[in-house]
Structure 1
């Protein structure tokens, strides 16, 4: 669950946005208020705020977003509990407040508006309110056994690690199984193994490297493993056909329906490393 917060001065416009019926808005939390529309609620806020004319940004606007999975199962009574606990965590208990749920997107989220001025005319300090909002959201998520930002990030990183390993495994399998002799053959062979290879072509119409698409993810070769940069893939392919022949045929590549060339850096890297390896093997070092 994510929490965002800031102090605002445009109370009326914000509450009207929260109450927007086009977004299937519903009131899920209401405290110390009796108004039945945005104008009435705003006037009630202003009556209390009039006690402190020094504070200009006198309303807190919070957005509380459970994960998509959690949002699907949360009922309005659960969202009400989230608002109460969230305000408790920030020590904003006895204040005017109203919250709306928006379900116009697949990602359910809450818009919570709290009067920054209490009934004694004292303004709540807004220092680091954004950071404190996120901490409060994480604390509420833990208490209600919902996913926190850290848990979501950990799962994402863990899944990405597994995905990288799988793409690299299929890359190695492709090189061993098909022994491609050109970039075109490599792309075709990877497709047979379930990986879409997307050439990265710059404005000068030169090949710089590749991106790999698998299971809904799209990653650069260098993000997967250092052996999967354009230059390193080229070095592997050059071993199957000979350096001179590979470089000659790679001057005009037919990729993505157009003719391109290898970038100078790729060309030099492939030639230098592969020739050095051939010489070393030839003299027995």
Structure 2
């Protein structure tokens, strides 16, 4: 679950987005409010906000996003529970608040708007609100048995490690199987092994390195393996063919029919 938060001044415009019917918006929470439109809710917020003329960004806007997998399982009542728990973790109880579910693009998420000004005219301290929103979302996810950002990051890193290993394995297979005689040959041979090799050319039209695209991932050579730099690949090609293709720093190579330094 991801939590994002910020203080805003454009209450009505932002709330109109939250109330967007094109995104299948549905109200799941309304606290100390009676209005039935963004304009009416904004007026109710303003009644309290007018008590604190020092505060200009006087509405708190949050987005709470469960993972796509978790979101598919969550019903309206559970999403309401997530919202209430988030408000509790952010210490935003006893304030005007309204929340909507958005279900566009199969990614169910919550838009929450809270009046920064309480019933006594005091403004909520919004220091580090972005970081605090994420920590609150983490606590909500843990409390409700949902996937946390840490779990998502762990899975991402684990999957990325497998991707790196597989690209390196296919690189080694290419060198052994095709014995490429040039970078151009190498790129074509890697394509046969389902890895797209993308040359990185700088503003001086010189080859700086390669990126490797595989299974939806796009990684620099150095991110795949320390031996996957353009220099090390060149040395491997040189070793295979018994002659150096990297004689000096200004070597010219042919890539896709073009000569590149």
The two structures share one fold, judged by TM-score above 0.5:
yes
Cα separation, partners in 2 of 1:251 and 1:5, compared to 1, 3 Å: closer
Distance 1:139 1:3 in 2: 10
Which residue pairs with 1:271 in the alignment?
none
- Residues 185-204 of structure 1 aligned to structure 2 (within 5 Å): 185-204=185-204
Cα RMSD of the aligned pairs, angstroms, is 2.1
Which residue pairs with 1:269 in the alignment?
none
1:230 aligns with 2:230: yes
* Residue segments in structure 2 that go unaligned for 5+ positions in a row: none
Distance 1:242 1:155 in 2: 43
Report the Cα offset of residue 246 of structure 1. 7.4
Q: Is the 8 A contact 2:235 2:244 kept in 1?
A: no
Which residue pairs with 2:64 in the alignment?
64
* Greater helix fraction, Structure 1 or Structure 2: 1
1:123 aligns with 2:123: yes
Q: Is the 8 A contact 2:4 2:62 kept in 1?
A: yes
Distance 2:202 2:244 in 1: 24
Report the Cα offset of residue 201 of structure 1. 2.8
| Runs of 4+ with >4 A deviation | 244-248
Which residue pairs with 1:51 in the alignment?
51
Q: Is the 8 A contact 1:181 1:246 kept in 2?
A: no
* SS of residue in 2 equivalent to 1:243: coil
Deviation by residue 1:83-130 (Cα, 9 ceiling, x = unmatched): 100000011111110011222333322110111222232222222222
Cα separation, partners in 2 of 1:7 and 1:204, compared to 1, 3 Å: closer
- Residues 159-238 of structure 1 aligned to structure 2 (within 5 Å): 159-238=159-238
Distance 1:52 1:247 in 2: 72
Which residue pairs with 1:259 in the alignment?
258
* Residue segments in structure 1 that go unaligned for 5+ positions in a row: 264-285
Cα separation, partners in 2 of 1:26 and 1:205, compared to 1, 3 Å: same
Give me the TM-score of the superposition, normalised by structure 2: 0.90
Cα separation, partners in 2 of 1:185 and 1:54, compared to 1, 3 Å: closer
Question: How many residues are matched?
Answer: 259
Which residue pairs with 1:76 in the alignment?
76
Cα separation, partners in 2 of 1:170 and 1:6, compared to 1, 3 Å: same
Deviation by residue 1:223-279 (Cα, 9 ceiling, x = unmatched): 11111111111111111223257769x7351x23x3123x3xxxxxxxxxxxxxxxx
Distance 1:208 1:53 in 2: 56
* SS of residue in 2 equivalent to 1:34: coil
